Amino acid sequence: MSNDATPTDASSLTGQDLAFLRRPLHGFLSVAAGPVPPQPRPVWFEATDEGTIQLFTAPDSLKVRRLRRDPRASIVVAAPVGERERWVSVAGRTTVEPEGAHDLAARLGARYWDLDDPARAADLAEILAADQVRLVIHPETVRRYSY
């Protein structure tokens, strides 16, 4: 077992992290909830060239309401069963951005779904027709593990 984190990459994503996070894997997002234990939710996400993690959601979602009270969030992404064990965890301050959510949703739809399937294309069209905001996690702590 090895934990390949070093002090120089404990607050930012490495090239290896970005390559892993750019795969079509689900992330598990947790937002701060005060005395309530975090309740992770599976989400689509994108790791950006700037080293942030972004996702989209409805502007009136519970996670947005919680983030407006306390902007801390984390996401954990793990390799699927059948691969060697590996995970990356990113935690930090999260901003709620009004712009760019639909473009992000379109990119992620193409990443996670076969849009040649008419049902999936219709699902994505429904997402794109709804109001969305973009959540951006600005890494403060990055942890990783590989076996």
Going residue by residue through the chain (147 aa), what tens digit of pLDDT does each one get?
Answer: 444 444 446 889 999 999 999 999 999 999 987 777 778 999 999 999 999 999 999 999 999 999 999 999 999 999 999 999 999 999 999 999 999 999 999 999 999 999 999 999 999 999 999 999 999 999 999 999 998
Domain boundaries, the chain: 7-146
Phi, psi of 47 (to 5 degrees): -90, 125
pTM over 0.85: yes
Please tell me the distance from the alpha carbon of residue 42 to that of residue 90, in angstroms, as a whole number.
Answer: 14
pLDDT at 10: 83
The domain 7-146: what is its CATH number?
A: 2.30.110.10
pLDDT at 9: 67
